Amino acid sequence: MKRSQFLQGIAVAALCLASVPAAFAQAYPNKPIRLLVPFPAGGATDLFARTLSQKMGEKLGASVVIDNKPGAGGAIGSDLAAKAPADGYTLLLATTSTHSIGPAITRKLPYDTVRDFTPIAYVGDAPSVMLVPTNSPAKTVAEFIDYAKKNPGKLNYASSGNGTIVQLTAELFKSQAGIFVTHIPYKGTALAIPDLITGGVDVMFDSMPTGMPHVRDGRLRALGVTTLKRSPLAPSLQPIAEVLPGFESNTWFGLYGPKGLPGDMVTRINTAANQALADPEVKDKLARLGIEPVVSTPQQLATMVAADAAKWKKIVTERHITND
């Protein structure tokens, strides 16, 4: 064999080998993808996952199957995702509870929220509203702060339980406003609503989907929204940040994979998620859930979560908050 023929054969073989990874990448996905939801069926995270998964599956060319694994504030489902093979067939829909508040309030999580996951996409935000009884003397955020300052220790707020986003939002508000309001924990905001309506509770920060229907029916008064700017979901509501600069508290949703997820798979899933979130049907469904879709890169998710986790850790430490 001539040297030129030998070298030509080597070159052809090298090209064939180089095409193998590309062929594998093009083959993904070739079976259903499991999307772990670390909360019960029927909740906001589950409904968001089901809304996103159908269109995302269409963009990926494979079905995305929801697998609810609730428990321990989202830690059970998150742990399953952290320990799954990094093959792109097990994903996690994480939230503020699992990756921002969880590390700050739970002493021993079975995983590290940074080291054990691959960020894929920041996909949505669910703002909350500040609610008071209709007979409250406060008709604005500023009036409530003034009312609380004139009545130190006499007012109370409801939450969905110790260590929840509802409690932490109220504590963040108290910290920035410089007021003292007593915490009354309930087992869910739905159980607190009757007491809020009758005036047995003075204020609560609730999610839009569960809080706003009572406002529209005239049973409660909404003073403000927890986004930095006016929310398209409730454009008439004043952002609390206009009174307390920088105040923000949203339940975010993010897609993660196990650590070591190949970059080509991350890009493929991120693109499919962003395309699904841009779909008018998905946007409409999310608006009805009180969720604003977010289009992002993996790095934007990682950056946002790092800042959010630091904010809540500071509040947990300063306010001595526990989930006991």
Q: pLDDT tens, 166-214?
A: 999 999 999 999 999 999 999 888 899 999 999 999 999 998 888 999 9
CB 118 within 8 A of CB 126: no
What DSSP character marks residue 23?
H
Max Cα-Cα span within the chain: 97
Quote the Cα angle for 84-309-86, to 5°: 15
pLDDT of residue 75: 92
Contacts of 212 (CB under 8 A, 6+ apart): 129, 222, 234, 290
Rounded CA separation 285/214 (Å): 20
Using the structure block, give the residue that is written with the tokens 């995302």. 56
Rounded CA separation 69/37 (Å): 6
Rounded CA separation 46/40 (Å): 7
Rounded-to-10 torsion of CA 205, 211, 216, 222: 0
Rounded CA separation 270/1 (Å): 49
Segment-wise mean pLDDT, segments of 10 residues, the chain, 324 residues? 44 43 65 95 90 96 96 92 98 96 91 97 96 98 98 94 92 97 92 96 92 94 96 92 96 97 97 98 92 96 97 93 82
Structure-block tokens of residue 266: 């991350």
Domains recognised in the chain with CATH numbers: 32-126+250-318 (3.40.190.150), 129-242 (3.40.190.10)
Rounded-to-10 torsion of CA 232, 227, 134, 44: 80
b/e burial code for range 47-60 (CB count within 10 A of at least 16 → b): bbbbbbbbbbbebb
pLDDT of residue 56: 97
pLDDT of residue 322: 85
Structure-block tokens of residue 32: 């259903």
Predicted TM-score (pTM) of this structure: 0.83
b/e burial code for range 208-243 (CB count within 10 A of at least 16 → b): bebbbebbeeebbbbbbbbbbeebebbeebbbbbeb
189: Cα within 13 Å, side-chain hemisphere = 22
Q: Is 314 helix (H, G, I), strand (E, B) or coil?
A: helix
Question: Which amino acid, residue 166?
Answer: V
- Chain segment 129-144, per-residue pLDDT in tens: 999 999 999 999 999 9
